[in-house]
Amino acid sequence: MRERLSSDTYIDGILAGDRVILSRAITVVESRLAEDKLLAQAILNGILPQTGRSLRIGITGIPGVGKSTFIEALGIYLTSINKKVAVLAVDPTSSKSAGSILGDKTRMEELVKDPLAFIRPSATGLSLGGVARNTREAMLLCEAAGYEVILIETVGVGQSEIFVKGMTDFFLLLALPGAGDELQGIKKGIVEMADAVVVNKADGLFADEAAQAAATFENALHLAQAGESGVAVKVLTCSALENRGIPEVWETVQQYVATTVKNGFFSKNRAAQQVDWMHEIVRQKLEDLFYQNKEVKKQLHGIEEEVGAGKMLPAEAAQLLLNLLFKI
């Protein structure tokens, strides 16, 4: 067992850009132990004034689209122009499978060795909400450690994308050439969340198909309403494998930031995200208060047994437990 560091040691280490301390601090934030929770809160409070200065980019796309290769190519490009880059993930499925995409050590082999890059796989064994909360806090720690661009990867179609959209400034949908509309998320509402669509694997035989897929997206987006950001969604093609089109992606992100900072959307969006986050904390704390309540703790097991045996309805049991919490 490693010795327990003080919150000040963590804070100083993070602010000095110490990657080992940063890693350990993220582990503290991910911990479910009560004493770690207090420590995590102290660390987060200490580093908060130094957060919020990075650019936060969410990246999504169906499995097989080449997210890891794309993120590595973008990461390497960014470090080549001297940006410090952190890669995080919201991958709720990693709790059940052998390992998350980022946990797979064969991925991002080059970026992992880059001194300007920091890669952290998704926490495991948590609910999606828990993973999202941890990722948000890990993002703040990375920002305090001086990382200027945070890339947050997410998987598949669904709630995890909504979480990542809710903690980033720019949301990028990675797509495949040739796959059907449905597969691309056009019908799934993901496109409507995106600030840019990038058709990956635009190489070799797929170059034509990639151009065609890009045209399909252009059409679909043309029909969609203009987004709140006031910036038209851009459709690009790239080959992460052949490392082409990556600077153009970064250029698009920068243009977006310039425009939205100017028109006020950038800060408006971050403000709304803060408010949403407050509600998320309220939800979490309500649950904590409930399940840590002495009376609830004492009776929960017996009531669960009655519900499981079909002797009490779930709704009745829930009310009974809530009455315990709120009785004076």
Q: Which residues bind a second copy (CB under 8 A)?
A: 41, 44, 48, 62-64, 92-98, 128, 155-160, 179-180, 182-183, 185, 187-190, 192-193, 271-272, 274-275, 277-279, 281-283, 285-287, 289-290, 303-304, 307-310, 313-315, 317-319, 321-322, 326, 328
CB 295 within 8 A of CB 323: no
Smallest distance, a second copy to C-beta of residue 155, A: 6
Distance CA 121, CA 109 (A): 14
Q: Give the position of tokens 């992606």.
A: 249
Radius of gyration of the chain (CA): 22
Q: 306, exposed or middle or buried, with CB in 10 Å at 0-12, 13-18, 19+? A: middle
Strand (E) positions, 20-123? 55-60, 85-90, 117-119
Nearer to a second copy, 120 or 133 (CB): 133
Determine which helix (DSSP H) or strand (DSSP E) holds 152, and give its type and residue range.
strand 149-154
d(CA 100, CA 92): 9
Least Cβ distance, residue 9 to a second copy (angstroms)? 22
Give the residue with the Cβ less far from a second copy, 258 or 286: 286
Nearer residue to a second copy within complex by CB, 258 or 320: 320
Minimum distance from CB of 95 to a second copy (Å)?
7
Nearest approach in angstroms of CB 180 to a second copy is 5
Looking at beta carbons only, is 193 or 197 nearer to a second copy?
Answer: 193
* Beta strand spans in 139-182 (E): 149-154, 170-175
Nearest residue (CB) to a second copy, 81 versus 315? 315
CB of 32 vs a second copy, minimal distance in Å: 17
Closest separation in Å from C-beta 286 to a second copy: 4
Let me know how many helices (H) and strands (E) the chain has, helices first. 12, 7
Place of tokens 């009785």: 327
Nearer to a second copy, 255 or 274 (CB): 274
